[in-house]
Amino acid sequence: MSRRSLKHYLYVTIFGTHTRAGRLFDILLIIAILSSLLVLTLESVPSIASEWGKQLRALEYTFTCLFTLEYLLRLYCSPKPSAYAKSFYGVVDLLAILPTYLAFLFPAASSMSVIRLLRVMRIFRILKLVRYLQDSNILLRSLLMARRKIFIFFSTVAILVTIFGSLIFIIEGPENGFTSIPKSIYWAIVTITTVGYGDLVPQTHLGKAIASITMLLGYSILAVPTGIITAELSQEMRTHKTLVKCPNCSKSGHESDAIHCKYCGGELAEPNQRVVVNEGKN
Amino acid sequence: MSRRSLKHYLYVTIFGTHTRAGRLFDILLIIAILSSLLVLTLESVPSIASEWGKQLRALEYTFTCLFTLEYLLRLYCSPKPSAYAKSFYGVVDLLAILPTYLAFLFPAASSMSVIRLLRVMRIFRILKLVRYLQDSNILLRSLLMARRKIFIFFSTVAILVTIFGSLIFIIEGPENGFTSIPKSIYWAIVTITTVGYGDLVPQTHLGKAIASITMLLGYSILAVPTGIITAELSQEMRTHKTLVKCPNCSKSGHESDAIHCKYCGGELAEPNQRVVVNEGKN
Amino acid sequence: MSRRSLKHYLYVTIFGTHTRAGRLFDILLIIAILSSLLVLTLESVPSIASEWGKQLRALEYTFTCLFTLEYLLRLYCSPKPSAYAKSFYGVVDLLAILPTYLAFLFPAASSMSVIRLLRVMRIFRILKLVRYLQDSNILLRSLLMARRKIFIFFSTVAILVTIFGSLIFIIEGPENGFTSIPKSIYWAIVTITTVGYGDLVPQTHLGKAIASITMLLGYSILAVPTGIITAELSQEMRTHKTLVKCPNCSKSGHESDAIHCKYCGGELAEPNQRVVVNEGKN
Amino acid sequence: MSRRSLKHYLYVTIFGTHTRAGRLFDILLIIAILSSLLVLTLESVPSIASEWGKQLRALEYTFTCLFTLEYLLRLYCSPKPSAYAKSFYGVVDLLAILPTYLAFLFPAASSMSVIRLLRVMRIFRILKLVRYLQDSNILLRSLLMARRKIFIFFSTVAILVTIFGSLIFIIEGPENGFTSIPKSIYWAIVTITTVGYGDLVPQTHLGKAIASITMLLGYSILAVPTGIITAELSQEMRTHKTLVKCPNCSKSGHESDAIHCKYCGGELAEPNQRVVVNEGKN
């Protein structure tokens, strides 16, 4: 195999998902990421760390070596290494290995090693897999279409939380635990999101009335983001459905997992090809 | 009645729901399952067990005998006994009776007897009833259609929970109760799902800020699975509706509980027959 | 005014909502109901009862007299007094006055007086008002259409709650507060509905893992009833819209609050008449 | 620049959003509002107030002066000053500056200074910005269309909360913390909205059963407002979409962010013009 074809083969395997080797690589990578996350997590449990600390550290070094090798290979086989290095995943890939080396060089910076948990974001690579591409595109586009409505919703929640937080601060006051406005706003967030820790609760009658209104408001305005996303999503799904055309009779409106045209029976384009077409249009 | 016709009669009664006897059998079975669950539940309450223990155990033995008889009858009248024994319900039916016998033979294994509560899954048999078949099919198919979107949603939640869990672990640390990353991830799950037990709450200002973001995120991303399922469900319901055709004028689009065609007044196929047709198509 | 026309006038005023007097009566009635509820509620607060007890009791007697008068008038002017007395509202109306008389006759039964709070259900009468009739009909019909799906959902929740309750009972056990299976099922309900009181929390690692799964499940399956009701509701709203027909050009599809036909400009039937037509069809 | 044109220039800049200066003014205003809110919030934290109190107060006075200047300018350049002063935003603008002056004149009234936090409502001005106008209109109109259904929903919740509150009051009683009906209704609201502080929990078996029903009810009826708003919102979005017409080929049904007609390629009216047209129709 020539050097160029090797580079291309690596590229197709590591970055692509169309070949069998590419899919295998993706699956192995996800297993490695999940295992390394498990190791990092277990290392933080004092009782486990004291007993298995050595073995866990050895495993962690192994995973870091593997991820370093993978990073170098990606840099090597990428047609534009600098573009990859500056991309979102390129930075995440680097952040996933850097802390281990820094902790090795400067033992004092070991607390920084939690950054390694950002490795978890590498799991998003799974969305690259053909099966999930279409669905994650639909979800992302719905969120994108709804971004202004979501912003308005969050502004409204921020305003409500400030108003109810200051109200409870005046009514309850420091003697009942509401020592400052930021703390009262924290209480309002805990209440309006229906989390309700119970570490800070109103004691006076009026405070309880205000809390009740906050809860009922939080309970009902949850309906707004749901309504926004549902409306956008069902519109997006309907649009997407109509985009799939039969190459034989040109009729559209096929289910996204249909293989044959429901009007003439002609074979439809393969799902991953269809996705490419849609992406070109958007 | 010949042996063969008896076997067939039993099969139609025990497995089927079309005859009056079959429906009666199903209703009696569900009453027996619910009663035996009540007995098992009450047996676990110390104050009740010390007073009524004997009677409850006698009832439990009676139910186990009944369920054993039912299991043997099912094996006997099933056209393919081995297929039934290996099916999901076959295993559940066996698990519902086995622990009682094991506890009888090996008194030490009595703690295992909680497995008997898996009996509760036998209630799903109720979905076999014609009235619920159509609706449970629609629900199941919607969930099936949405499986990839739900998987993407859960991956995103898992990633968010890991990130916010590690963040709170760095900020709050063991002195405020966040003794390890798994425990911090547990806190993040309690917070992002808006459960909010309050057994673990942030104490520092920065921790409270991070907690507020986690809550608001959890509060809003709840909109995503709702949006997904609503969109799939309304599509499924629309599709299902159009599938019902009038045998007289061939026009479709009838309500799922319509009896007569709304265009020509011709009688529509019976609901259970329609269901069979749909199932054959899927 | 003859006796018969008086009876009819009373009937139209008390039971009807079309006349000005009828609407005024409804509004006064709702104010009286709300005031009497406030009186009952305040009476239960020890500090208020000790100071204002006498006045509150006097007010309560006044309201009871008014409601008794109203009940007798309803019986008098109703075309079929026995039908009214046996109807849902007839029973509620009686339950709203009976406890006060019983407490007067048998002072020992005063604890029973809380039943008077069922008076709150009389507020539903407000839905009789024309403006709300249409909307409450749409909501009710959606819930009715979705009743089987909601039943399946609740069965599934019941089964999940039993399974996770027994699991946590085995794992945590009485030493961590999970003293019986009913109590563990109570914990599972508190967790799966994302209420999260925090009076009962898992202490072991495995228990926390099980709790996390319960929370995530509860968090996501909330999407199912929302999906069901949204899908039914939007279908119901679309159907309802199409039912409104223009008496001039016979074209349908008008907004529910439209006054003129959007195709020919002809005046549409009045909303309350339209509702009657729909009710006749269903 | 003549006096009249200056007045007009100020009006376009301060009230309008079409000119570059207008947009810049809006952005600066929002930054000033957010900063002043931060100052007010920090002032309430005892530890910060004792150290930075002076500086924070100085900043607060600066912001009050700026807002006073802005208020006077708005009064000056508005074509109808009295109409502005009486409008919602006019009152909010006045309330945002008044308390500081009052606290200066009557130092005793300093507790009233929390009213200054109502300044947060000025943030809603951001919705005036063209990009958000359309989306906030759609959201507002959906809520407006759904107002009766939301009212019915809240009445039902109020009735449920009264019934379950009185039930738990009878069952648990003052010995378990449920000292009065208002407090029990507060518990019912905390439970039905799934907030679950845990400051008041049922202790008896029957109380826990009632609490479980309350939770399951609260968990499911959340689906109702979501369904209402989703259904209205998707209808509103569909209607809004169809209202956008191509001036060239007169075909409608364009995406709300489309610039060219998707049928003939003709340029569509600018978004803000389209909005004005819609508002005229409603």
Question: Which ipTM value was assigned to this complex?
Answer: 0.81
What CA–CA distance (Å, rounded) separates A184 from A169? 6
Instruction: Compute the nearest-CA separation of A31 from chain D (Å).
Output: 37
List of chain D residues whose C-beta atoms are within 8 Å of the C-beta of residue A231: 230, 233-234, 237
Condensed to tens digits (0 to 9), the pLDDT of residues C93-150 reads 888 888 888 877 776 655 666 777 777 888 777 666 667 777 888 888 888 888 888 8
The values of phi and psi at residue D17, to 5°, are -135, 10
User: In this structure, what token pair is assigned to residue D150?
Assistant: 């939301």
* pLDDT attached to residue A111: 61
Q: Residues near D192 by Cβ (< 8 Å), separated by ≥ 6?
A: A219, D157, D160, D161, D164, D214, D215, D217, D218, D221
List of chain A residues whose C-beta atoms are within 8 Å of the C-beta of residue B179: 45-46
* pLDDT attached to residue D277: 34
Confidence of residue A242 (pLDDT cuts 50, 70, 90): low
Confidence of residue B99 (pLDDT cuts 50, 70, 90): confident
Confidence of residue B255 (pLDDT cuts 50, 70, 90): low
Which whole-number Å values give the CA distances from A67 to A94, A97, B192, C167, in the listed order? 9, 7, 30, 39
Tell me the whole-structure pTM to 2 decimals: 0.84
What CA–CA distance (Å, rounded) separates C66 from D208? 37
Condensed to tens digits (0 to 9), the pLDDT of residues C66-81 reads 999 999 999 998 888 8
Helical H segments across chain B, by residue range: 3-14, 20-43, 46-77, 81-86, 88-105, 130-145, 147-172, 181-192, 205-221, 223-243, 271-281
* pLDDT attached to residue C210: 94
Beta-bridge mates of residue A267 = A260
Instruction: Compute the nearest-CA separation of D212 from chain C (Å).
Output: 6
pLDDT of A51 higher than 80: yes
Contact C166 B114 (CB under 8 A): yes
Q: Is B4 on the interface with A (CB under 8 A)?
A: no
* pLDDT attached to residue D282: 32
Q: Is B282 on the interface with A (CB under 8 A)?
A: no
What CA–CA distance (Å, rounded) separates C271 from C263? 18
List of chain C residues whose C-beta atoms are within 8 Å of the C-beta of residue B42: 182
Q: Is D152 on the interface with A (CB under 8 A)?
A: no
Condensed to tens digits (0 to 9), the pLDDT of residues A140-150 reads 888 888 888 88
Using alpha carbons only, how large is chain C's radius of gyration in Å?
26
User: In this structure, what token pair is assigned to residue D72?
Assistant: 């006077």
Confidence of residue D128 (pLDDT cuts 50, 70, 90): low
Confidence of residue A281 (pLDDT cuts 50, 70, 90): very low
């009810």: which residue's tokens? D217
Which whole-number Å values give the CA distances from C13 to B11, C7, C62, D29, in the listed order? 62, 10, 22, 56
Instruction: Compute the nearest-CA separation of B196 from chain C (Å).
Output: 6
Average pLDDT, chain A: 80
Q: If 0-12 CB within 10 Å is exposed, 13-18 middle and 19+ buried, where does residue D112 land?
A: middle
Instruction: Compute the nearest-CA separation of C6 from chain A (Å).
Output: 45
Q: Is C4 on the interface with B (CB under 8 A)?
A: no
Residues C223-248 have a mean pLDDT of 75
Q: Nearest by CB to C186, from D152, D212, D219: name it.
A: D212
Burial A167-193 (b: 16+ CB within 10 A, else e): bbbbbbbeeeebbbbbbbbbbbbbbbb
Q: Are D187 and D178 in contact (CB under 8 A)?
A: yes
Contact A163 D118 (CB under 8 A): yes
Question: What is the DSSP secondary structure assignment for residue D157, as one 8-state letter?
Answer: H
Instruction: Compute the nearest-CA separation of C253 from chain B (Å).
Output: 17
Instruction: Compute the nearest-CA separation of D165 from chain C (Å).
Output: 10
Helical H segments across A106-203, by residue range: 130-145, 147-172, 181-192
Mutate to test the interface with D, among B226, B228, B229, B238 (most CBs of D within 10 A): B226
Q: Chains with 3 or more CB pairs closer than 8 angstroms to D?
A: A, B, C
Q: Chains with 3 or more CB pairs closer than 8 angstroms to A?
A: B, C, D
Instruction: Compute the nearest-CA separation of D194 from chain B (Å).
Output: 8
The values of phi and psi at residue B260, to 5°, are -110, 150
Instruction: Compute the nearest-CA separation of D247 from chain A (Å).
Output: 24
What CA–CA distance (Å, rounded) separates C224 from B142? 10
Q: Residues near D140 by Cβ (< 8 Å), separated by ≥ 6?
A: none
* pLDDT attached to residue B140: 86
What CA–CA distance (Å, rounded) separates B199 from B185? 14
DSSP string, C115-162: GGGGGGGGGGGGGGSHHHHHHHHHHHHHHHHTHHHHHHHHHHHHHHHH
List of chain C residues whose C-beta atoms are within 8 Å of the C-beta of residue B228: 223
pLDDT of B272 higher than 60: no
Q: Residues near C265 by Cβ (< 8 Å), separated by ≥ 6?
A: none
Residues 22-41 of C with CB under 8 A from D: 37, 40-41
pLDDT of B87 higher than 90: no
With a pLDDT cut of 70, the percent of chain B lying above it is 79
Q: Are B237 and B223 in contact (CB under 8 A)?
A: no
Beta-bridge mates of residue D28 = none
Residues C171-199 have a mean pLDDT of 92
Query: How many C-beta neighbours within 10 Å does residue A224 have?
Result: 25
Residues C185-190 have a mean pLDDT of 95
pLDDT of C5 higher than 80: yes
Q: Nearest by CB to B198, from D194, D198, D230: name it.
A: D198
List of chain B residues whose C-beta atoms are within 8 Å of the C-beta of residue A144: none
Q: Is D281 on the interface with C (CB under 8 A)?
A: no
Contact C121 D163 (CB under 8 A): yes
Q: Are C80 and C100 in contact (CB under 8 A)?
A: no
Contact C194 A198 (CB under 8 A): no
pLDDT of D103 higher than 80: no
Q: Chains with 3 or more CB pairs closer than 8 angstroms to C?
A: A, B, D
Q: Are B46 and C182 in contact (CB under 8 A)?
A: no
What CA–CA distance (Å, rounded) separates B181 from A42? 8
Residues A103-115 have a mean pLDDT of 67
* pLDDT attached to residue B165: 92
Q: Are A44 and B169 in contact (CB under 8 A)?
A: yes
Q: Is B159 on the interface with A (CB under 8 A)?
A: yes
User: In this structure, what token pair is assigned to residue A42?
Assistant: 């277990």
Residues 49-108 of D with CB under 8 A from A: none
What CA–CA distance (Å, rounded) separates B125 from C152? 11
Residues 168-187 of B with CB under 8 A from C: 182-183, 186
CB pairs under 8 A between C and D: 132
**Nearest residue of chain B to residue C233 (CA atoms):** B234
User: In this structure, what token pair is assigned to residue A276?
Assistant: 């490419």
Using alpha carbons only, how large is chain D's radius of gyration in Å?
26
**Nearest residue of chain A to residue C223 (CA atoms):** A226
CB pairs under 8 A between A and D: 132
Instruction: Compute the nearest-CA separation of C271 from chain B (Å).
Output: 25
Residues 200-259 of B with CB under 8 A from A: 201, 205, 208, 211-212, 215-216, 218-220, 222-224, 226-228, 230-231, 234-235
Amino acid identity, residue C99?
P
Burial A88-103 (b: 16+ CB within 10 A, else e): eebebbebbbbbbeeb
Q: Nearest by CB to D195, from A181, A194, A231: name it.
A: A194
Contact C216 B154 (CB under 8 A): yes
Contact B212 A194 (CB under 8 A): no
Confidence of residue A274 (pLDDT cuts 50, 70, 90): very low
List of chain A residues whose C-beta atoms are within 8 Å of the C-beta of residue C230: 230
Architecture of domain A3-133: Up-down Bundle (1.20)
Q: Is D153 on the interface with A (CB under 8 A)?
A: yes
Burial B193-231 (b: 16+ CB within 10 A, else e): bbbbbbbbbbeeeebbebbbebbbbbbbbbbbbbbbbbb
Residues D97-112 have a mean pLDDT of 72
Architecture of domain C145-224: Orthogonal Bundle (1.10)
List of chain B residues whose C-beta atoms are within 8 Å of the C-beta of residue D44: none
| Closest CA relative to residue C94, chosen from C63, C113, C71, C124 | C71
The values of phi and psi at residue A223, to 5°, are -65, -25
Contact B194 A194 (CB under 8 A): yes
Contact C197 D197 (CB under 8 A): yes
Burial B93-116 (b: 16+ CB within 10 A, else e): bebbbbbbeebeeeeeeeeebbbb
Residues 132-151 of B with CB under 8 A from C: 132, 135-136, 138-139, 142, 150
